[in-house]
Amino acid sequence: MSDGLTHAAWTDAVRDGRLLGGSCGQCDTTVGTPKAACPHCGARDLETVDLPTEGVVYTETTINVPPEGIEERGYQVAIVDLGDARLLGRVDGETVGVGDDVALSGYTEDEQGYTAPRFEAV
Ligand SMILES: [Zn+2]
């Protein structure tokens, strides 16, 4: 049993301008958010790794009906390929498209204290 990446540690890292993920010891999967087990093979030995803070937009969408607790509307979110991991984040500034290069630009936090990374075009 290894030290799993906790949500608190992940959040602290995002606030610190870093991204942490988990690298599966049993398969090649890397996850971009804290997970108790590998989503691919179910192994529980996920090693905490630093993810790159620059990546490429895998897919994006604009949120017009946000989750409860978020007032803002019409903001863009993107799933970003960061090395081997994928991570959902908010997009700052200009709208990005699939395949665009983006970099971590900060974070956003909702009323429940849930932290999400923000990305912007580079
Ligand atoms: Zn695995």
Q: What is the pLDDT of residues 32-82, one digit of tens each?
A: 999 999 999 999 999 999 999 999 999 999 988 877 887 778 889 999 999
**Distance from Cα 40 to the centre of ligand 1, integer Å:** 5
**Distance from Cα 75 to the centre of ligand 1, integer Å:** 33
**Distance from Cα 53 to the centre of ligand 1, integer Å:** 23
d(CA 38, CA 2): 13
Q: DSSP for 58-118, please give it.
A: EEEEEESSPPTT----SEEEEEEEETTEEEEEEEESS---TT-EEEEEEEEE-TT--EEEE
List, for residues 12-36, the tens digit of each pLDDT value.
999 999 999 999 999 989 999 999 9
Nearest in space to 75 (alpha carbons), one of 88, 56, 87, 84: 88
d(CA 122, CA 103): 6
Is the pTM of the predicted complex or chain greater than 0.75? yes
**Distance from Cα 117 to the centre of ligand 1, integer Å:** 24
Residue 1's pLDDT band (boundaries 50, 70, 90)?
very low
